[in-house]
Amino acid sequence: MKSNYLFKICNKSIRNFSSVSKATKPITPNFTTKVQVAEHKLKDFGSWINESLIPESIKELEERIELNEEEEYIEEKDLTKRKNNRRDLTKLGAPNFWDFVEKKNVSLTRKPVEIFQMNIGLYCNQSCNHCHVESSPKRKEEMSLDVINRCLELIEQGKDTITTIDITGGAPELMTHFRYLVESVRKMSDKFEIIDRCNLTVISEPGQDDLVDFLKKHKVTVVASLPCYSRKNVNLQRGKGVFEKSIYGLLKLNAAGFGIEGSDQKLHLVYNPIGPFLPPEQKALQEQYKIQLKEDFEVQFNNLFTITNMPIKRFADFIHRRGDLVPYMELLVNNFNPAAVDGLMCRNTLSIKWDGTLYDCDFNQQLDLGFYNNPNKSIFNIKSIKEITDIPINTEAHCFGCTAGAGSSCQGATI
């Protein structure tokens, strides 16, 4: 039933799309975020702020499993057939993304690598219910020194095109070789932008007291998740106590110069919707964030990146349980915007898994969707990153998450 329903809507959207694409303005989704004004101000933080979030994250993960489905106990191992089926978006009747793009005469091939994105492990002190990598304190996978050293060789060889080393996880700062990686890249060149995708709460984890100083010393750009300026919304999506710890982390970063106007230390925030809807307009939301965070907490930052939730992994399960997976796919397909294709991050990003396998992007990595016609490419069987220029991008139905409305990437909206 659901499958037919979506198929009809998708066909309808394709017909509708041709008329919309002639319009001068891109498709604007009629979905706004119901963000609430922060309800309380934090004047000071008790000593609890430096206690680990890990016990609470494990408790919440286990409560969610108990309430929702036993299957999540095996999320780190092989998934059950039922779960795989449920997550298969093509089975819902979603159209073929590649065909959809080709019909609009837009290119889906890779350009030279500019962003070298390393997912260095899946361990995290949080266990957010939208997490597309299904991280939690229970995950153990992390990048070995061999993999990191081979990545460093590839970066050195690819210096002419690579501009950015984007380090993600999990909570990358909690991985054994995070600091070695940052130090080595910075030693190689002052020109690289090194990005630490930080969940903010890691700053107050025991043993991380010097993290902010370390990031400052190595001129790292911090890109931090904060899906709302409201305590209620953040804690709902990311776990109890996360909002307070996030504000604490932001204040510590600000105190070191990150995000302060005129400072070289960049601090960007990431917004993603708390439910199955598209992000609001990036610039307008950024203004709202700036006003609220300054007014309520004296917090400053540089830019806000709006990111669309991908219908995969934990977020797909989360909305499936609420009966929203099919309507969400409809929303993504119906808001397909060809203008968002050129800025897709898979066109200039190389995504490296903790074990060295290569992917077009972090989402494909989490789905284990390797390169088109060559799924086993790894840092150990390529001579240089130039080998992976001009090849087609491997896409599936989840890719509609990157082309809906204003587009979505790790750097925010794509148009």
- Which residues would be at the binding site for ligand SF4 (CB under 6 A)? 124, 126-128, 131, 133, 135, 169-171, 199, 225, 238, 344-346, 360-361, 363-364, 393, 395, 398-399, 402
Nearer to ligand SF4, 149 or 235 (CB): 235
Nearer to ligand SF4, 188 or 236 (CB): 236
Provide, rounded to whole angstroms, the least separation between the CB of residue 206 and ligand SF4.
17
Instruction: Report H helices in 93-210.
Output: 97-103, 145-157, 178-188
The candidate with the shortest Cα–Cα distance to 299, out of 254, 341, 333, is: 254
180 within 8 A of 148, measured Cβ to Cβ: yes
Provide, rounded to whole angstroms, the least separation between the CB of residue 121 and ligand SF4.
10
Nearer to ligand SF4, 170 or 259 (CB): 170
Provide, rounded to whole angstroms, the least separation between the CB of residue 337 and ligand SF4.
12
Distance CA 11, CA 8 (A): 5
Vertex 306: Cα angle to 303 and 308 (nearest 5): 160
Nearer to ligand SF4, 303 or 364 (CB): 364
Provide, rounded to whole angstroms, the least separation between the CB of residue 310 and ligand SF4.
7
Nearer to ligand SF4, 138 or 260 (CB): 138
Provide, rounded to whole angstroms, the least separation between the CB of residue 187 and ligand SF4.
27
**Residues in contact with 316: Cβ distance below 8 Å, sequence separation at least 6, in sequence order:** 86, 87, 89, 325
Distance CA 17, CA 336 (A): 8
Counting other chains too, the contacts that 43-48 makes at CB distance below 8 Å and 24 or more residues apart are 45/244, 45/248
The candidate with the shortest Cα–Cα distance to 125, out of 237, 25, 207, 205, is: 205
What angle do helix axes 178-188 and 145-157 make, rounded to 10 degrees? 20
Provide, rounded to whole angstroms, the least separation between the CB of residue 108 and ligand SF4.
8
Which element (helix H / strand E) includes 222? strand 220-225
Nearer to ligand SF4, 9 or 223 (CB): 223
Nearer to ligand SF4, 266 or 398 (CB): 398
Distance CA 244, CA 79 (A): 34
Provide, rounded to whole angstroms, the least separation between the CB of residue 40 and ligand SF4.
23
